[in-house]
């Protein structure tokens, strides 16, 4: 098996993020790998050319960026005792594209990410970030399905 030196963990905003991270953490411990935690902000629509009274899109974007930065920093800080080599980054773009690009840029050995487990019509409407990453990733991808309620 190839040595795993760099793990890119795709952080989504879900209740399963910690559960999914345990898989990345297990791999990092086993191989002595560093972990990069990445959160992607997906700005789905640009409405700047439309007049909407009392709404500043720049302020909204700034608030979203600040909240995402705090989310990622807090997540990394919670795990800093276990992993000194943990880094957090935020990107803006289409999640599967940015994750694949960052994996190439970092020369990641593995990507670990959750999947929402959508099927049928819901999958058709919302698509699958995990599917886009798996199809285009330059390295192995470990996808973790949501933890079922006990």
Report the pLDDT value the prediction gives residue 58, as an integer from 0 to 100. 77
Give the model's pLDDT for residue 13: 80
Per cent of the chain over pLDDT 70 is 81
Instruction: Determine, yes or no, domain membership for 150.
Output: no
Q: How far apart are CA 9 and CA 17, in angstroms?
A: 10
Residue 99 placed within a domain: yes
Per residue in 51-93, pLDDT (tens digit) is 666 667 777 788 888 888 999 999 999 998 888 889 999 999 9
Q: Would you say residue 42 lies in a domain?
A: yes
Task: Give domain status of residue 1, yes or no.
Answer: no
- Supply the CATH number for residue 42's domain: 3.40.50.620
CB 4 within 8 A of CB 32: no
* Count of domains for the chain: 1
The pTM of the full predicted model, rounded to 2 decimals, is 0.84
Where in the sequence is the domain holding 13, given as residue range(s)? 6-144
For residue 52, the model assigns a pLDDT of 61
The Cα 142–Cα 150 span in angstroms is 23
Residues 6+ apart with CB under 8 A from 58: none
pLDDT of residue 35: 96
- What does the pLDDT look like over 121-141, one tens digit per residue? 454 444 588 889 999 999 999
What is the pLDDT, as a whole number, of residue 129?
86
Confidence at 149, pLDDT banded by 50, 70, 90: low
């Amino acid at each position: 098996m190839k040595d795993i030196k760099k793990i890119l963990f795709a952080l989504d905003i879900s209740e399963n993020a910690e559960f999914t991270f345990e898989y990345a953490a297990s791999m990092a411990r086993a191989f002595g790998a560093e972990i990069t935690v990445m959160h992607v902000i997906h700005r789905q629509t640009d409405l700047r050319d439309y007049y909407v009274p009392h709404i500043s899109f720049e302020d909204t974007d700034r608030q979203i960026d600040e909240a995402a930065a705090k989310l990622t920093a807090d997540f990394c800080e919670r795990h800093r005792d276990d992993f000194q080599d943990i880094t957090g980054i935020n990107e803006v773009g289409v999640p599967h594209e940015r994750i694949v690009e960052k994996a190439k840029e970092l020369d990641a050995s593995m990507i670990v990410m959750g999947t929402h487990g959508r099927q049928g019509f819901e999958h058709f409407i919302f698509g699958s970030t995990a599917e886009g990453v798996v199809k285009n990733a330059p390295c192995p991808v470990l996808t973790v399905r949501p933890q079922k309620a006990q």
